Chains A and B, each alone.
Chain A
Amino acid sequence: MGRLLLVSRLAARDLRRRPAPAALLLLAITAATTTLTLALVLHGVISKPYQRTREATAGPDVIASVAPPPVAGQAADLAGLKALADAPGVVGHSGPYPYTQAAVEANGVTATAWTQGRDTAPAPVDQPKLTEGSWVRDDGAVIEASLATALGIGAGDRITLGGRSFQVAGVAVTAVTPPYPKQCFAPCWYGTAAEAEANRPEPPAGSREPPSGPPDTGGFRLGPAGLIWITEADARSLATRAQSLAYVVYLKLADPAGAQAFVNAHLPASPTEPLLVPWQDVLEGHSWLVETKREILLIGSWLLSLIALASITVLVGGRMADQLRRVGLLKAVGGTPSLSAAVLLAEHVVVALLATAAGLAVGRLAAPLLTDPGAGLVGSAGAPTVTMSTVGLVTAVALGVAVVATFVPAVRAARTSTVLALADAARPPRRAAWLNAISARLPVPLLLGLRVAARRPRRTVLGVTSIAITASGIVAALAAYAHFNTEKAPGADPRGDLRQVLLLFAIMLVVQAAVNAICITWATALDTRRSSALARALGATPDQVSAGLSAAQVLPALAGAILGLPGGIALAQVLDDDPVTIPPLWQLLAVVLASVLVITALTAIPGRVSARRSVAEILQSELA
């Protein structure tokens, strides 16, 4: 008990004595824990609003649609859809409803819309819930809510659909498709059926070729599209030929949870057979945006944890050099090596626990900002819950970062000879003969900077790593942004929300890298105070010493930023199944330039402060 008290007292006093490094550590770990909390609590948050929408709209368990075959003059085969309506396990259905595709124009924006013909009376399965206006009527269209938001239209507005003018009779939500621009019916393939098709084994030679990939579209355009309901007569009139009229049936199953199995049992063998989509795939489509945000945050949390790890390692290393004498004193008065290590560990464990609490609280409070289910669903996602597993994982990561970063320096300090520690004989710097030789040919600030960087190669590597991780993250975010721009749907694409998360991700990385740079500069200034003072005594000006200290960080930052360019492209490639979109060259150059400028600015202040200290005082303190 006494030992615990002693460790706690020493740790608490040390934290109070050096609040600035403790605050930086707290900030670094909190950034990681907040991001991780956000990523964890976002999982599955769209499920509730989707289920509410399914209930409110009598949503189907399976959506079955069939497109006409790509043969001139042939219409879609309705027999398959009718057979599905009578299949075992099906307890209700609506349709078949005819649909086609048409260009919709509103507010100067032209988009593609699946225009579905519906009865004016409510259907037993899929009753789109009006959020404004009234249901379909002749020349009166109902716009699916996410499409209406993207086009900026509401009830009473006029649109042009397939070249004809319609009035917007109403706006409604439905549970039968993902939101705009991912709304999709046959011949568009997605979800379970598309995956099954992709995994289908190659047929024996000479046998019938199955459809591979998306089937021939037969006049339908596959790509960003929304959904519009009109009357059946209007839908048929918009279809310019038989090949552009397809049909959809909405099925209610006795066992909604078995929708996946039902779909698997009725996989299409050819493009003329119905494409089935279970409600789980539609939910996945609605969840895509939030789940993508979650993935970005999850990756961000790991990157932030890695930079935090680098920051703490540098800080602890710097503090060890600063506190070696205290460690020696502790050991001299009978403290065991483990006591010295325990004090250091305790300090960082306390900071990690505080960061865990702060991260959980901030993450929980900020989560609602990222859980907007969009206009396509009823209600909000509500306040996400922080489960015990979330608390456990966030705590484990924070403690892991603190313990891993502290362990090696703490053990090294504990194992330092008491006599050496009392003499404050800090770990001798490394010697890099070739760097010393090269630096002799450089201007004084670079000479000093290179030699400072060469003294502690591990710290330099941590600096390079930190900036490389940051630059990689930012380049990956830029690549994701560039990819989004190439795929951007007409109107206000709801996926534009991702830009906010990518921006948040980039800002967090920059803040974390800034904290890391400050930690490294602080540790370096501490470590090089004698050699800096000596350089000044030998005639280096304060500006040269300050510039040297900055150069010691800026050179690794430049290397890290350059390494971050291919790193970011590789990260983007790993994270996205689609071919990566390389950001414009000016953006890549801006990342390198900004990294160097930010590090220069961040290191200039501590470098200048350090260079202003009295030379005599520093050199005298080395004798004390």
Chain B
Amino acid sequence: MMHANESLSHVGPVLRTRGLEKEYGKGAGLVRALDAVELEVASGETVAVMGPSGCGKSTLLHLLGGLERPSGGEVWLAGRRIDQLSEKALARLRRHAIGFVFQAFHLMDELTAAENVELPALLAARSPRAARRRAAELLERVGLSDRARHLPSALSGGERQRVAIARALSNQPLVVLADEPTGNLDSTATLDVLRLLDSLRAAGQTLLIVTHDARIAATADRLISMRDGAFVEETRLTRGTTGQLGELAGLEG
């Protein structure tokens, strides 16, 4: 049986934008959150986007994930233009091709860790048994097998974010979009998440991470700096740089 993602597989960048713009308000109150953003993310690549608060990082992430519609420009996912899709089609796309990780975790309070992780699979109409098996695999991968039956309120911040990452991987997405994944975490929890993201990168998962955290950025293949809604600098990070920053972050050794 063909996996839903396979229908979206193609040669070329997984994510691509052309002249992407987003404006809020009008007249004197007009705010340009994104201004002619050009981006390409290759399959298996990890891209970190950094910049000050309000520079448009989260807006970019929302547009890439189809949670908001651009004011101008184009968004392409796996060779398919998505900015003009219907809400329904966008929902299907998110279900099968995109995984989200949020700063505030956004777990369902009344569901256990395992139930949270299996939710995307259930929304994708997988059988409950398959969804549960996949959730168990992912929780093991993020080191939370023993916390599967715990409610989010019984988990630490780091554990919640690891559950959220496991949930994002539930339907084997083409790309994971992470919005400040360590923004609400202490140092120890941040390192746990860093290790996890690094392992995802190593496993070839395409990642786009919006962050303030230089340690997160250090795990990326490419670092994009944003200011006032535009890309101002782009740096391709080498293993040496990663190694240096990774060492600083305590990832090495």
User: Which residues in A have some Cβ–Cβ distance to B below 8 Å?
Assistant: 428-432, 436, 440-441, 444, 447, 451, 454-455, 530-531, 534-544, 612, 614-617, 619-620, 622-623
Contacts and interface: CB of A to CB of B under 8 A. Distances in A.
Nearest to A437: B128
Contact of B91 (A432, A441, A536, A619): A536
Contacts of A538: 94-95, 100, 119-120, 123, 167
B124 interface: yes
Nearest to A428: B109
Contacts of A430: 110
A249 B124 CA distance: 87
A539 B110 contact: no
Select the residue from A431, A436, A538, A617 with max chain B CB neighbours within 10 A: A538
Contacts of A432: 110
Question: Would you list the 7 A-B pairs with minimal beta carbon distance, nearest first?
Answer: A539-B95, A541-B91, A616-B62, A440-B128, A616-B67, A431-B110, A429-B110
Contacts of A441: 128
Interface residues of B, number: 36
Contacts of B87: 541-542, 612
B159 to A, nearest CB: 17
Given A429-B109, A614-B67, A541 B92 contact: yes
Nearest to A612: B87
Contacts of A623: 103-104
B106 A534 contact: yes
B92 A539 contact: yes
Contacts of B119: 535, 538
A461 to B, nearest CB: 17
B65 interface: yes
A77 to B, nearest CB: 82
Contacts of B125: 444
A436 B88 contact: no
A428 B120 contact: no
A492 B170 CA distance: 71
Given A451-B110, A542-B87, A616 B68 contact: yes
A536 B111 CA distance: 17
Given A428-B153, A431-B151, A539 B123 contact: yes
A455 B120 contact: no
Contacts of B110: 428-432, 436, 451, 454-455
B170 to A, nearest CB: 8
A336 to B, nearest CB: 29
Contacts of A541: 87-88, 91-92
30 contacts: A428-B110, A432-B110, A440-B128, A440-B131, A444-B123, A447-B122, A451-B108, A451-B111, A534-B106, A536-B94, A537-B65, A537-B100, A538-B95, A538-B167, A539-B96, A539-B123, A539-B124, A539-B171, A540-B91, A541-B88, A541-B91, A541-B92, A542-B88, A544-B123, A616-B62, A616-B67, A619-B102, A620-B58, A623-B103, A623-B104
Interface in B89-138: 91-92, 94-96, 100, 102-104, 106, 108-111, 115, 118-120, 122-125, 128, 131
A619 B106 contact: yes
Contacts of A614: 67-68
A450 to B, nearest CB: 12
A429 B152 CA distance: 12
Interface on chain A toward B: helix, strand, loop, or mixed SS? Answer: helix
B111 A444 contact: no
Nearest to A433: B112
Contact of A539 (B91, B102, B151): B91
Contacts of A539: 91-92, 94-96, 120, 123-124, 171
Interface string B4-28: 0000000000000000000000000
Contacts of B68: 614-617
A622 to B, nearest CB: 6
Given A432-B110, A619-B102, 10 more contacts: A431-B110, A444-B123, A447-B122, A451-B108, A536-B91, A539-B91, A539-B96, A541-B87, A544-B123, A619-B106
Contacts of B122: 440, 444, 447
Contacts of A530: 106
A276 B103 CA distance: 88
Nearest to B149: A433
Select the residue from B58, B67, B151 with max chain A CB neighbours within 10 A: B67
Nearest to B62: A616
A450 B176 CA distance: 29
A614 B109 CA distance: 21
Nearest to A540: B123
A578 B170 CA distance: 64
Contacts of A620: 58
A6 to B, nearest CB: 33
A197 B65 CA distance: 84
Nearest to A542: B87
A536 B119 CA distance: 11
B109 to A, nearest CB: 5
A432 B67 CA distance: 30
Nearest to A430: B110
Nearest to B96: A539
A105 to B, nearest CB: 70
A431 B154 CA distance: 13
Select the residue from B102, B110, B123 with max chain A CB neighbours within 10 A: B110
A541 B94 CA distance: 10
Contacts of B58: 616, 620
Contact of A622 (B88, B106, B118, B124): B106
A444 B131 CA distance: 14
Nearest to A435: B110
Contacts of B109: 428-429
Interface string B152-196: 010000000000000100010000000000000000000000000
Nearest to A620: B58
A453 to B, nearest CB: 12
B123 to A, nearest CB: 5
Select the residue from B123, B151, B167 with max chain A CB neighbours within 10 A: B123
A615 to B, nearest CB: 5
Nearest to A535: B123
Contact of B115 (A436, A531, A540, A543): A436
